[in-house]
Amino acid sequence: MIDKDKLRKADVFSGTLIVLLGFVIISQALKMPMKDSYAGVQNVWYVSPALFPMLVGAMITLLGLLLVRTAIKSVGKAGIQQVFDYFRSPDFNEFLKAHTTIRFYGIVLTLFVFVFLLVPRIDFFLGAILFLLIFFFMFYCGTDEDLPRLILMIVTGTFVLGAYILTGLAGKIDEIIPFSADYLVLLFIVILVAYYFKKLKTNPELFKKFKLSLLIGFLAPFTIGVIFKYFLLVPMPFEGVVVYLLDAVWYAEIWS
């Protein structure tokens, strides 16, 4: 949590957002049937589906206003002006470039890419390996200085993979090579590993961490995935080339 003084300044803005949310809730609730009939039922105000959202919206608005009032009382107009000045100052630029901020971008970007791009479209095992390796290289064997470059690699990879899938190219190539997007992700994994291998091989301490990262990066998805897929019988979100191979091994006739 940030310190009290900064918190009060931030409260002015978060409180305003909360008031706006309250208004949105109330405005949406006003569109719901109040006294008019819905689905053949004549409404009265106290059974209206709008009643509870209106109450919640009103409370959110009221509490948001109270928060803004408390914050303004605490920091005064000068405090709010300081916030606007801060956004225009070099300090804000420094904050945006600080290691902790860049780490935050890296974490959120990786999570979003994994959830919105990889999980629904790429073999779960490959996606999970890439996800883990990125995190391990970001925070375990990589340094903060490497982070911007790694983030650039993620952005580039996302654009390439996104374009490959969303332009329909993947669908066409899949007719010749099934699960072609999986191979593209496999290629990203190889590039990532090769890059860090080259970068870290001269540093024995980091190289040891690199080897451990590789081991866990490959082992963990297989352990988790196999438990969910074959013991808990949960189908993977997207079953691609690795699941296809695992299925062939798991359900092979030789075991029976």
Q: Taking CB under 8 A as the criterion, which residues in 51-110 touch other proteins? A: 51-53, 55-57, 59-60, 63-64, 66-67, 70, 100, 103-104, 107-108
Closer residue to other proteins in complex, CB, 57/240: 57
Q: Does 212 contact other proteins by CB under 8 A?
A: yes
Least gap, CB of 113 to other proteins (angstroms) = 11
Using CB under 8 A, which residues numbered 137 to 196 contact other proteins?
Answer: 138-140, 144
CA distance linking residue 27 with residue 205, whole number of Å = 59
Least gap, CB of 152 to other proteins (angstroms) = 19
Amino acid identity, residue 28?
Answer: Q
Q: Which of 72, 109, 119, 189 binds other proteins (CB under 8 A)?
A: 119
Q: Per CB under 8 A, which region of 2-10, 158-166, 199-207, 248-256 contacts other proteins?
A: 2-10
Residue 39 DSSP symbol: T
DSSP string, 192-254: HHHHHHHHHTT-HHHHHHHHHHHHHHHHHHHHHHHIIIIIS----SS--HHHHHHHHHHT-GG
Binding track over 214-243 against other proteins, x by CB under 8 A: --x---xx--xx-xx---xxxx-x------
Q: Per CB under 8 A, which region of 116-124, 148-156, 162-170, 247-255 contacts other proteins?
A: 116-124
Q: How many CB atoms lie within 10 A of CB 9?
A: 19
Angle at which helices 147-166 and 99-112 cross, to 10°: 20
Number of residues that bind other proteins (CB under 8 A): 73
Q: Does 249 contact other proteins by CB under 8 A?
A: no
Retrieve residue 53's tokens: 């959202």
Element (H, E) at 38: none
Q: Does 132 contact other proteins by CB under 8 A?
A: yes
Using CB under 8 A, which residues numbered 25 to 44 contact other proteins?
Answer: 25, 28-29, 32-33, 38-39, 41, 43-44
Closer residue to other proteins in complex, CB, 57/157: 57
* Residues recorded for the chain: 256
Q: Per CB under 8 A, which region of 118-126, 150-158, 184-192, 193-201 contacts other proteins?
A: 118-126
Least gap, CB of 22 to other proteins (angstroms) = 9
Residue in the structure block whose two tokens are 């990066």: 217
Least gap, CB of 248 to other proteins (angstroms) = 22
Binding track over 8-27 against other proteins, x by CB under 8 A: --xx--x---x--x---x--
Q: In terms of C-beta density within 10 A (0-12 exposed, 13-18 middle, 19 or more buried), how is residue 215 classed?
A: exposed
**Contact present, 188 and 122 (Cβ < 8 Å):** no
Q: In terms of C-beta density within 10 A (0-12 exposed, 13-18 middle, 19 or more buried), how is residue 222 classed?
A: middle
Element (H, E) at 61: helix 51-88
